[in-house]
Amino acid sequence: MVPESMFNLLPKVLARGINPAVLLLAVAACGAQPDSPKRVLVLDSFGRDVAPFNAVASAFRTTLVRELGESVDLHETALEVGRFPKAGMQEHLADFLDRRFTGRRLDLVVPVGAPAGLFVAQHRQRLFPETPILFTSGDPRLVGLELVRTNATLVTCEVNLPGMVEDMLQLQPDTTNVVVIFGASPLEKFWERECRREFAPFTNRTHFSWLGDLSLPQIKARVAVLPARSFVLFGMFTTDGAGVSCDNDGALQALHAVANAPLYGCFNSQLGLGIVGGRLYQDARVGAQAARVAIRMLRGEKATNIPPQVLDSSFPVYDWRELKRWGISKTRLPAGSVVQFRQPTSWELYKWRIIAVISLCSIETVLIVLLVANRVKRRRAEQALRESEERLSLATGAADIGVWMWDMARNHVWATENWCRMFGFLPATALRLETVMERIHPNDRTTVEHAVRRAIEERTDYVGEYRVVLPDGTQRWIAARGRLDTGSGAKRARLLGASVDITERKRMEEAARDLSGRLITAQERERARLARELHDDITQRLARLAIDVGRCEQGTAELTPAEMAREVREGLVRLSDDVHALSYRLHPSVLEDLGLATALQAEGERFTRCESIPVGVKLRDIPESLPRESALCLFRVAQEALRNVARHARARMVEVALRSLDGGLQLAVRDDGRGFDPAVQGAHPSLGLASMRERVHLLAGELDIESAPGHGTTVVAWVPLSAKSV
């Protein structure tokens, strides 16, 4: 496949005076090369192991490689612009990336986090002027939507800061002190300012303490001695107030080990590391969704056609272990909350085992007594029933019949395995009338219900044909017949019957109706074509000849009588030739006058003249006398096969072979054309193939079509010869 960028270069090439043929040769060479892997650049705002962006990047990488379906060349660079925003740092990073990817085409750039997104937006014209950009994990507060309007889009998750505090206060309504912990990097300072602004409505209810300027050891000392009715909100923490870096949620785990109050977090990847939970930022979900958007962009979809996606984080998620540790009741959880890491109790683990043991002990004595008393009787009944079912199954299986019985009082349907197979039920399935009616085609249910009701009310036999829809969507036709058995009274009334699968018969009937309709349509089209040819050509030419003769009789002709007679004679000769050709198409007289062999040779010569495709005719051991029906059948098959070659095959040569074989005649028409898939064609064959098959089958012959794409087609027809013709 030629890359789209090649076509985008064409106007520039023409403007510079470069020969287009050179470009076309380069395009052809590129098209001959195997598709190169997609090259994707992932830019991390911090390091590869810095939370929460490591969860976003990890989910992005995993989902992209798993779902793309082709090779991908994945590059990942840690910019560290979120941790070290020094003057001139970004210019050095831009120079590094410029040197690294000079001459290497990038299919997609994915900045992870707002610092990386802002870096890409600032240096995009220099580094990635034509490369699509997928901003991810960058809040619209920092990565404005105006950045994604040109060959870019955004995937992130909403950050509902007030909602986080509301959920915490709902779990601990008596809280009077909230400790907020963010790191000292510019991004973390931004979010601390946002929290101060959006937490302002809660200051009349509780006091907020901000520890972002302290070192990690100082923060640990503070959270270890918090006053009662406190909780900790832990945000991002990549760098403490002393400038020390923290990776892999190490700060969170260190604080969880010493804190004397519950810790609440902001990111879903922190769940299970010590936070209670809440409305968490779905970092892994953002990464996976960003990978799916990236796949769409790598497969050619324009970034401007993909609107920015801000995922919802409205449903709270909690850690069951932390709820239990801090004595928080599940009744206080917000509606729709999800609780994870729940440890089941002993009763929940062994509930059914305990019930089973108690039940077993309670009924064991009764079962033993009943078992001994009924053992012999039950075995005899089971043996008799098994033998009866085996005989019934053998009989119905041999006849491909399904037997059924409907007990009206209990609304229970019993059926043999063969019947269950017809309707798509497992043999042990408990069946009711409603269950069976659900398998019947919706368009046939009313008819079946009326027929069953009439048989019950009038005490007559039930007869019906209907369609059954199997669980896999397959439809089958079933013919059923039943009889009402009242037994000893109305309470014991049953409807017994048998069903037969008639799908093949229905399919053959439908195929016959379809073929008949197509043949009638083709016949009418042929008549219309002949009528147009006679009216528009033959009759007009006869009228012209009559006019010329009339002008000659009146002496008004411009030509002499001799010249006029010659013109009329030549017109009559051409007219005679055309009428003869039309008559030949309707019924070749050469077939009856000179035989099948000569007719095939004449047809091959005619086909060569008309289509400029050489036809070789091979004849071997042909009887002198052939039945008229056999000769006409093989001739029409050859005609139709040659017509298909002219229409579809694009062949360079055709071979027609006729020989005696196994008491009959075999005709083979082979071409070296493009061929086709017989399985696809067989689902709805053309009228020509259908007519060939019907002609051969009417004479109890055989027709076989062998073909494959790129390997030509062979049509082989064999018809028997009577003893007289042999």
- Cα–Cα dist 63/615, whole Å: 58
Higher-pLDDT residue of 13, 63: 63
DSSP symbols for 585-625? HH--HHHHHH-HHHHHHHHHHHHHHHH---EEEEEES--S-
In percent, how much of the chain has pLDDT > 70?
79
In sign, the C-alpha dihedral spanning 251, 257, 260, 262 is positive
What is the model's pLDDT at position 14? 45
What is the model's pLDDT at position 217? 92
Q: Is 390 helix (H, G, I), strand (E, B) or coil?
A: helix
627 pLDDT above the threshold of 80? yes
Find, among 534, 568, 538, the residue nearest to 550 by Cα: 568
291 pLDDT above the threshold of 90? yes
Please give the mean pLDDT across all residues of the chain.
80
Higher-pLDDT residue of 224, 569: 224
Most confident of 375-384, 386-395, 401-410, 575-584: 401-410
3-class DSSP string for 441-452: CHHHHHHHHHHH
Average pLDDT over residues 235-259: 85
What is the model's pLDDT at position 226? 92
| Strand-strand pairing, 230-234 and 263-264 | parallel
What is the model's pLDDT at position 261? 92
What is the model's pLDDT at position 278? 86
pLDDT digits (tens, 9 = 90+) for 545-599: 667 677 676 666 566 777 777 777 777 777 676 665 665 555 566 666 678 888 8
| Predicted confidence band of residue 21 (pLDDT cuts 50, 70, 90) | very low
96 pLDDT above the threshold of 80? yes
1 pLDDT above the threshold of 50? no
pLDDT digits (tens, 9 = 90+) for 643-693: 888 888 888 889 999 988 888 889 999 999 888 887 766 555 566 777 788
What is the model's pLDDT at position 601? 84
What is the model's pLDDT at position 533? 61
DSSP symbols for 281-346? B-HHHHHHHHHHHHHHHHTT--GGGS--EEE---S-EEEHHHHHHTT--GGGSPTT-EEESPPPPH
- Cα–Cα dist 466/443, whole Å: 9
* Alpha carbon distances (Å) from 360 to 354, 373, 610, 613: 10, 19, 91, 87
Average pLDDT over residues 48-76: 87
Which residue reads 């600032």 in tokens?
122
What is the model's pLDDT at position 13? 45
In sign, the C-alpha dihedral spanning 419, 424, 427, 429 is negative
Average pLDDT over residues 18-46: 62
Residue 704 pairs in a beta bridge with: 716
What is the model's pLDDT at position 32? 41
Q: Are 436 and 413 in contact (CB under 8 A)?
A: yes
Which residues, other chains included, contact 531 with Cβ-Cβ below 8 Å and sequence gap of 6+?
Answer: none
Higher-pLDDT residue of 165, 382: 165
Q: Is 511 helix (H, G, I), strand (E, B) or coil?
A: helix
pLDDT digits (tens, 9 = 90+) for 148-168: 778 899 999 888 888 888 888
Q: Token digits for 484?
A: 């009402």
pTM of the model: 0.46
Amino acid in position 352: W
430 pLDDT above the threshold of 90? no
* Alpha carbon distances (Å) from 4 to 38, 129, 151, 573: 14, 16, 16, 61
29 pLDDT above the threshold of 60? no
Residue 168 pairs in a beta bridge with: none
Most confident of 138-142, 368-372, 462-466, 516-520: 462-466
Find, among 682, 643, 661, 641, the residue nearest to 726 by Cα: 661
Find, among 342, 344, 258, the residue nearest to 333 by Cα: 342
- Cα–Cα dist 641/301, whole Å: 45
Find, among 670, 676, 661, 667, the residue nearest to 695 by Cα: 667
Average pLDDT over residues 195-220: 90
In this structure, what are the phi and psi dihedrals at residue 301, rounded to the nearest 5 degrees?
-75, 135
Higher-pLDDT residue of 635, 718: 718
Helix H or strand E encompassing 293: helix 283-298
For 52-56, 79-83, 149-153, 458-462, which range has the lowest pLDDT when averaged over its residues? 79-83
How many of the other CB atoms lie within 10 Å of CB of 235?
A: 23
12 pLDDT above the threshold of 50? no
Alpha-carbon 220 to chain mean position: 54
For 184-198, 211-225, 540-554, which range has the lowest pLDDT when averaged over its residues? 540-554
For 249-258, 499-508, 610-619, which range has the lowest pLDDT when averaged over its residues? 499-508
Q: Token digits for 388?
A: 């009866």
- Cα–Cα dist 154/303, whole Å: 9
What is the model's pLDDT at position 9? 46
What is the model's pLDDT at position 581? 60
